[in-house]
Homo-oligomer: A and B are copies of this chain.
């Protein structure tokens, strides 16, 4: 049996074909900027991906979306970076056109699901995932399933207030996304290059970043008490420059001595295709 996973990003859209939890094919395309074109291209790529496989062997299609969905996961609500998909019942359209069962989920939830079932949090019962990039995303898996919350939006870790003042709301996203580096006049990737060369100023900025991340992770632990936390997103690639200061902060701020000692803090293992892989897993675990 085969599952198809699609991770629609603002810039790129990734496809994987999975069989027995192994990636059989993968593909990456630029995301069209208009709804009709996007749907056409998705359907064309799905057909390519499964060409030669009998329809009876195709179990379903999972789609990861960078933004909020309604609680039933039938509609895309208002994705900040894909505004032309607002209110689009994308999974229903594709299911009808291709006659293959199709489900949708928030892309960060797909990422956490993939890491829980196949990645660095494999086997953990309660997993919180956090993605560090343009924004800070989050998701929670409990017993192999994504926790949606009462209104469909649990796990929005980027919007926890960690430090505010009269002028700033002080959300974690202000301190742990690319915005943090932008305020210092640099991109995280460029800073990473400098840090690799031992630049002291760069190392110091990453240390400061790690402190904020550690505070955010401590809040997650004190509230959810997960067995594992998985960190993904572009900035996580520089983890060796900030995880030490993050872990120091966690030791200072987590209440439970057991959580402090035993919680597993891991970096994403599945990397770039984790969202698409997670989307395939929705078909059974969504």
Residues in A lying within 8 Å of B, measured CB to CB? 68, 71, 124-126, 138, 148-157, 159-164, 169-171, 215, 218-220, 222-227, 252-256, 258-259, 262-263
Q: Give the complex CA separation of A215 and B169 in angstroms.
A: 10
A219 in contact with B161 (CB, 8 Å): yes
The docked-state distance in angstroms from the alpha carbon of A71 to that of B150 is 26
Given A154-B225, A262-B151, decide whether A253 and B161 contact each other with a Cβ distance below 8 A.
yes
User: Which secondary structure characterizes the binding site on chain A?
Assistant: loop
Which residues of B sit under 8 angstroms from A215, Cβ to Cβ?
161, 164
Contacts of A227 in B (CB 8 A): 150-151
Q: Are A155 and B256 in contact (CB under 8 A)?
A: no
- Across the interface, do A157 and B222 meet the contact criterion of CB distance under 8 Å? yes
With both beta carbons as reference points, the residue of chain B lying nearest to A152 in the complex is identified as B258
Question: What is the distance, in angstroms, from A126's C-beta to the closest C-beta of chain B?
Answer: 5
Whether A162 touches B159, Cβ cut-off 8 Å, given contacts A151-B259, A259-B150, is no
Task: Tell me the number of copies of this protein.
Answer: 2
Q: List 26 A-B contacts (CB under 8 A).
A: A124-B150, A125-B150, A126-B149, A149-B224, A149-B226, A150-B225, A151-B227, A151-B259, A152-B258, A153-B258, A154-B223, A156-B255, A156-B256, A159-B218, A159-B222, A160-B219, A161-B163, A161-B219, A162-B163, A162-B164, A163-B164, A164-B215, A169-B252, A169-B253, A220-B223, A224-B224
Report A184 CB to chain B, min CB distance, Å: 20
State whether B150 touches A263 (Cβ < 8 A): yes
Name the residue of chain B whose CB is nearest to the CB of A214: B161
A153 with B223, Cβ < 8 A, contacts A161-B215, A161-B218, A163-B163 known: no
User: 18 new A-B pairs (CB below 8 Å) besides A126-B149, A156-B223, A157-B222?
Assistant: A68-B256, A124-B150, A138-B223, A149-B259, A151-B259, A153-B222, A154-B225, A155-B223, A156-B225, A156-B255, A160-B219, A161-B215, A161-B218, A161-B253, A162-B163, A163-B163, A163-B164, A163-B170
* Min distance, Cβ A204 to any Cβ of chain B, angstroms: 16
